[in-house]
């Protein structure tokens, strides 16, 4: 409203803080005041004309008409005011109920998943959620990812764990990204990405490692049970391969700890070989798990980045029925970085 000083009418004074109903009531009272004032002026003027009528006869008729009109107006004003205030006494106060304030629109929450950004800061609103492995990031993203955003869905127990690789098909140098951190700055090296959905309650049997191909148990095996893999998010099975020993290895195939003077192995010195080096030939994954073979160079931490990684099942093995054969050629091609750690993560299908 205009910032001016309003006169007091019918005991009502407007201030700058007055709301619309108060202005409407003020105008209503002002209109009634003007109407009654006009009636009062008309009656006075009619009286003047009546006193002047002896000098001019037609003034008396005008005075009578004016008095009649004033009285009619007075009755109309009075009846209007009485009718309005009698039908609903609250009308004279014009108490308008305020409309409830509309709540702010709910914030549009981004869907859960992993977001790749070409600029640091995870600020690009056009980035799309990714919820499954990407064996080849393609020309649009390869060697261009500078930040990775992670949005978890704890409401439905869906937690995403991304791992970036510097080669296609989920292998090569890799970087594990902490799933509890919403935005990561990364070097632009990625050509492929694992996007794992963590499973807090896996129900598989576990993972079996074999010295021989095609799940040949006679050569020795090692099992990691489901109870060792599953746990509260973001738990995973992480061990040095050197610390894990094959079981049921034939005596003649066990490692020899010492030799006699004839160069023969002292039988009591034989021990089962470890899973390190290239001793693993096949892997049986009985359940929803991802197996990561890692090579951690001296000085690298358990959270990465890691010099070499290979995820199993591989892209070519995902739909294969039967043994998952370990092919060490990829590791050899990466400066012979033969894995020295294994990580097993329970995932949702």
- Give residues with Cβ within 8 angstroms of 93, minimum separation 6: 25
pTM reported for the whole predicted model: 0.65
Mean pLDDT of 215-234: 84
- pLDDT at residue 38, as a whole number: 79
Taking only the tens place, the pLDDT of each residue in 130-149 is 999 999 999 999 999 999 99
In whole angstroms, give the CA distance from residue 341 to residue 279.
13
pLDDT over threshold 50, residue 277: yes
Kindly indicate the confidence band of residue 112, based on its pLDDT and cuts at 50, 70 and 90. very high
Assess contact for 170 and 135: CB atoms under 8 A.
yes
Question: pLDDT-based confidence at 1, cuts 50/70/90?
Answer: very low
pLDDT, tens only, 24-77:
666 777 777 777 777 778 778 777 777 766 766 677 777 777 777 778 877 887
Residue 184 has pLDDT above 60, yes or no: yes
pLDDT value at position 16? 61
* Stretch 226-240: mean pLDDT: 81
Q: Quote the CA–CA distance of 44 and 38 in Å, as a whole number.
A: 10
β-bridge partners, 239 = 342
Helix (H, G, I), strand (E, B), or coil: what is residue 5?
Answer: coil
- The predicted model gives 208-234 an average pLDDT of 85
Residues 201, 130: Cα–Cα separation, whole Å: 23
Which region among 111-120, 147-156, 314-323 has the lowest average model confidence (pLDDT)? Answer: 314-323
What percentage of the chain carries pLDDT values higher than 70? 76
* 110 pLDDT above the threshold of 60: yes
Please provide the average confidence, as pLDDT, over all residues in the chain.
81
In tens, the pLDDT along 65-101 reads 777 777 887 788 778 777 766 765 655 555 556 667 8
**Tell me: the pLDDT tens digits for 145-169?**
999 999 998 888 889 999 999 999 8
Q: Which helix (H) or strand (E) holds 164?
A: strand 159-167
Phi, psi of 254 (to 5 degrees): -75, 160
């Amino acid at each position: 409203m205009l910032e001016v000083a309003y006169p007091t009418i019918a005991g009502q004074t407007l201030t700058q803080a007055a709301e619309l109903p108060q202005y409407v009531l003020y105008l209503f009272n002002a209109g009634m005041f003007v109407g009654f004032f006009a009636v009062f002026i008309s009656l006075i003027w009619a009286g003047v004309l009546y006193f002047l009528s002896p000098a001019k006869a037609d003034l008396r008729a005008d005075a009578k008409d004016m008095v009649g009109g004033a009285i009619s107006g007075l009755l109309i004003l009075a009846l209007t005011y009485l009718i309005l205030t009698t039908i609903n006494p609250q009308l004279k106060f014009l108490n308008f109920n305020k409309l409830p304030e509309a709540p702010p629109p709910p914030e549009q929450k981004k869907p859960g998943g992993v977001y790749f950004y070409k600029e640091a800061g995870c600020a690009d609103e056009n980035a799309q959620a990714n919820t499954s492995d990407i064996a080849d990031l393609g020309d649009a993203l390869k060697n261009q990812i500078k930040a990775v955003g992670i949005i978890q869905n704890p409401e439905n127990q869906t937690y995403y764990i991304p791992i970036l690789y510097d080669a296609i098909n989920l292998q090569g140098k890799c970087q594990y990204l902490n799933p509890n951190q919403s935005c990561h700055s990364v070097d632009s090296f990625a050509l492929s990405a694992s996007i794992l959905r963590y499973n807090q309650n896996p129900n598989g049997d576990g993972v079996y490692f074999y010295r021989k191909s095609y799940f040949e148990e006679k050569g020795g095996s090692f099992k990691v049970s489901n109870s060792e893999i599953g746990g509260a998010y973001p738990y995973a099975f992480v061990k040095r391969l050197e610390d894990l020993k094959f079981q049921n290895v034939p005596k003649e195939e066990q490692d020899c700890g010492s030799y006699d003077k004839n160069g023969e192995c002292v039988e009591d010195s034989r021990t089962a070989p470890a899973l390190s080096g290239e001793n693993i030939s096949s892997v049986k994954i009985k359940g929803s798990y991802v197996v990561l073979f890692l090579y951690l160079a001296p000085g690298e931490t358990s959270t990465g980045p890691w010099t070499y990684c290979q995820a199993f099942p591989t892209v070519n093995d995902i739909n294969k029925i039967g043994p998952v054969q370990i092919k060490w050629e990829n590791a050899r091609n990466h400066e012979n970085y033969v894995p020295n750690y294994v990580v097993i993560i329970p995932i949702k299908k």
